[in-house]
Structure 1
Amino acid sequence: MICSAPRALLRRFRREDDAVVTVEFVLLMPLYFFMLISTVELGLVNLRHSQLERALDITVREVRLNTGAVKDHDAMRDTICDLSGLIDNCASSLRLEMIQLDPFAWVAPNAEPDCISDPEVINSPREFNRSGNSNDLMLIRACMRFKPIFSSWGLGEDLANADGSDFGLVSLVATSAFVQEPR
């Protein structure tokens, strides 16, 4: 008699199909929500990166057309920030690095870009060589750090924890090169 009660309960559970849609909804909705949030986050990352690259290219073009009159770090950073429009707290989230390269005696630049490690501490850039001579090859890298919108869920969480820092910031790097015009 004791065994028949659980069997009857299981038979009744197997026959009835009430709330089947609710169970599917509860199981699948987090997956759909995860995909939606990750898609939005990835779209914003791509938009920020393309705007950073565009702003850096326009700034480098301005330097080339002004016959190599390179601005200092802060002036170039402000120009890039004005052209980009998507960099929050630009003074504390964007750092530039300009390196003079010799194409005939090639030494590869440091593979790690010079990024801001702590948003509260603003240090001078690792290298910003604005005194290139005529016909020198100059490499400029811009590194922007930002906090993902959904930094605790979905793709934003993975991006924020990718570099292992405690700040949860994502780094975007844009690189450009130009040759100093003859003076």
Structure 2
Amino acid sequence: MIKFPSIFKRLRRFRRREGGTATMEFAIFFPVFFAIFLSGFELSFVMIRQMWLERALDMTVRDLRLGTWPNVSQDVLKADICDGMGNLVQNCDSELMLELRTVDRVSWVTPNPAATCVDRGEDVQPVTSFEPGTENEMVLIRACILMDPIFPGTALALILEQNRGDGVALVATSGFVNEPGTGTES
């Protein structure tokens, strides 16, 4: 026959023991602190890439505004922006979408505030406007690049990605007025 009082005594003694309590605290709090650490690391890389995209776009806009390229094309601008970003984004040429659009200074109608980005799920990409403008014309340039999160399973990466696998969209916008003697002939 089983002695129930001895089992209950053992359970009571086990419940009163304080050995291993730090293990419980560690098991509860470590994942929370580790997730915060990974999210901070992820956010720092997103911000570094955003800063480099802004810088590369500004350097390209400086050359574009001064008319250093006589017949500018979207491929030339993409290559220059990707060179300015270094190796921070893989497949930069295929992940970067540029939009170059003139702004009417009478009505000040600006383009859609949502940037057009590459659609990784489609073979045919959305068409964007590419109007370098004429001299003394105001031009808005917008670059959207997709990057993959470093830690895709973290809460921050899941929040940043619109759809799983689409990547995080980084958007940089700049405006300029073509210098006299630059731009396309009207």
Q: TM-score range by the shorter chain?
A: 0.7 to 0.9
Indicate the residue corresponding to 1:139 in structure 2: 140
Q: Distance in 2 between matches of 1:31 and 1:166?
A: 23
For 1:110, the aligned partner's letter is N
Q: Note the C-alpha offset of 1:69.
A: 4.0
Indicate the residue corresponding to 2:160 in structure 1: 159
Asked if 2 retains the 8 angstrom alpha-carbon contact of 1:56 and 1:142, the reply is: yes
- Judged with a 3 Å threshold, the aligned counterparts in structure 2 of structure 1 residues 103 and 13 are, in CA distance, closer, same or farther, namely farther
Asked if 1 retains the 8 angstrom alpha-carbon contact of 2:119 and 2:125, the reply is: no
Q: Distance in 1 between matches of 2:91 and 2:50?
A: 16
Q: Distance in 1 between matches of 2:26 and 2:69?
A: 61
Gaps of 5+ in 1: none
- Judged with a 3 Å threshold, the aligned counterparts in structure 2 of structure 1 residues 92 and 16 are, in CA distance, closer, same or farther, namely same
Deviations 1:126-172 (A, max 9, x none): 11112x12211000000000111111223112222xx2x35331100
Asked if 1 retains the 8 angstrom alpha-carbon contact of 2:119 and 2:166, the reply is: no
Asked if 2 retains the 8 angstrom alpha-carbon contact of 1:100 and 1:136, the reply is: yes
- Judged with a 3 Å threshold, the aligned counterparts in structure 2 of structure 1 residues 172 and 103 are, in CA distance, closer, same or farther, namely same
Q: Note the C-alpha offset of 1:13.
A: 3.1
Q: Note the C-alpha offset of 1:32.
A: 1.3
Q: Note the C-alpha offset of 1:118.
A: 1.6
Q: TM-score, normalised by structure 1?
A: 0.87
RMSD of aligned alpha carbons: 2.3
Q: Note the C-alpha offset of 1:102.
A: 1.2
Indicate the residue corresponding to 2:23 in structure 1: 22
Indicate which of 146, 156, 173 corresponds to 1:175: 173
Q: Distance in 2 between matches of 1:83 and 1:182?
A: 26
Indicate the residue corresponding to 2:58 in structure 1: 57
Secondary structure of 1:104's aligned partner:
coil
Counting aligned pairs with the same residue, the percent is: 39
Indicate which of 121, 124, 133 corresponds to 2:123: 121
Secondary structure of 1:123's aligned partner:
coil
Indicate the residue corresponding to 1:96 in structure 2: 98
Q: Distance in 2 between matches of 1:61 and 1:3?
A: 85
Asked if 2 retains the 8 angstrom alpha-carbon contact of 1:146 and 1:171, the reply is: yes
Indicate the residue corresponding to 2:109 in structure 1: 107
Indicate the residue corresponding to 1:45 in structure 2: 46
Number of paired residues?
A: 179
For 1:43, the aligned partner's letter is S
Secondary structure of 1:99's aligned partner:
strand
Indicate the residue corresponding to 1:79 in structure 2: 80
Q: Note the C-alpha offset of 1:120.
A: 6.3
For 1:31, the aligned partner's letter is V
For 1:143, the aligned partner's letter is C
Q: TM-score, normalised by structure 2?
A: 0.86
